[in-house]
Amino acid sequence: MEPWKDMTDTATGTLLTVAMDITGGPIGTVRSAHGTLTSFAEATRMLRAATTPAEARNVADHVVMDDRAPSGVLNGAIIEFLRLSGLHMSVHPLTQTWTDHRCDTIDHSRDAGKKLSTAASMARAFENALRRVRQMTVALVPFSPTWTAWTSLIQRLAHDAVVTTALALHALRRMRDAVALEFDDASRIVNS
């Protein structure tokens, strides 16, 4: 087999790996974090509606972050995303169409990276504010101005974290679709 055919076979396999890993890796991970954040956001509504410090603490205890905190999950997705981006960069296109699709992939990759980073930061801010409120549930009186301010902040942070995580998920899907076009370009060369 000619050397360029060997390289194209390798590129095809690499692109397929990137496309499939994005689906199961970062996309699946970010989807999981998004679901967790959505349920936490729902719990913050219950926290705001708590009528006693004991009820507020009970709600907060159910949302306390552990090793599966959304920001940690998103950080794991970032690491996997960076690994796959590096793998993608090891493939060199052989046609202009493939080069154009590669440029699209790189653009979507940059967008996805920024959005993943923002989503992780937003999730971390939400988690930190929630921890602080949990610590204060003993001293705060529900419906007091301080309580209302903190629970409003938590709801806003939860909403922002859910939205930015959804945007990151969308960007990852666009990146996956662009990689799929690159895979198609490489496949056409292999099969011609």
Q: Looking at residue 64, what is its pLDDT?
A: 59
Token pair in block for residue 164:
């930015």
Question: How many CA atoms lie within 13 Å of 39's alpha carbon, on the beta-carbon side?
Answer: 12
Domain count of the fold of the chain: 1
Q: How many residues does the chain have?
A: 192
Q: How far apart are alpha carbons 23 and 17 in whole angstroms?
A: 10
Q: How far apart are alpha carbons 14 and 69 in whole angstroms?
A: 31
Q: Looking at residue 114, what is its pLDDT?
A: 95
Full-model pTM: 0.83
Residue where the block lists tokens 């806003």: 156
CB 133 within 8 A of CB 154: yes
Domain that holds residue 92: 3-190
**CATH number of the domain that residue 107 is part of:** 1.20.120
Question: What is the pLDDT tens value at each position of the chain, 192 positions in all?
Answer: 565 566 666 677 777 777 777 667 788 888 888 988 898 888 888 877 777 777 877 777 776 565 568 888 888 889 888 888 888 888 888 889 989 998 998 999 899 999 999 999 998 998 888 888 777 776 767 777 888 888 889 899 999 999 999 999 999 989 888 888 888 888 887 777
